[in-house]
Amino acid sequence: MKRLLSIAALLAVAAPGFAADTPKQVTFSKDVAPIFQKKCQE
């Protein structure tokens, strides 16, 4: 049980560091629209 709590605490501390590398918010015009244009327009 202590080991599980230790792992959970470590992940809780490390998770924000992993999330810092991801974009803050996905937007349609910057992220989705270019994919639609590339795949759907010919």
What is the tens place of the pLDDT at every residue in 1-42?
777 666 666 566 555 555 556 667 889 999 999 988 888 886
pLDDT of 3 reads: 72
**0.95 cut: is pTM over it?**
no
Element (H, E) at 33: helix 33-40
C-alpha angle 40-26-35 in degrees, rounded to nearest 5: 15
- How many residues belong to the chain? 42
Q: Spell out the domain ranges in the chain.
A: 2-40
Q: What torsion, rounded to 10 degrees, do the Cα atoms 33, 34, 39, 40 define?
A: 50
pLDDT of 22 reads: 62
C-alpha span between 7 and 9 (Å, rounded): 5
pLDDT of 39 reads: 86
